[in-house]
Amino acid sequence: MSYHKNRSIVIRNAIINSLFILWCLVWRTGLGLTFFIIYASLGYIYSWPFYLPISIILGFAPWGWKVQEERRDREEERKMRKLENKIGDGFIYAKAESNIEINYRGVIFLKSVFGLFVSGFWGIILGWKAILGMVVQLVDNIRTVIKYI
Domain boundaries, the chain: 3-148
**Could you tell me the pLDDT band of residue 91, with boundaries at 50, 70 and 90?**
low
The packing angle between helices 61-87 and 51-59, to 10°, is 40
- The structure's pTM equals 0.79
Helix, strand, or coil here: 8?
A: helix
Above 90 in pLDDT, residue 89? no
| Choice between 88 and 136, residue whose per-residue pLDDT is larger | 136
The mean pLDDT of 88-100, rounded to a whole number, is 69
CB atoms inside a 10 Å sphere around CB 24: 16
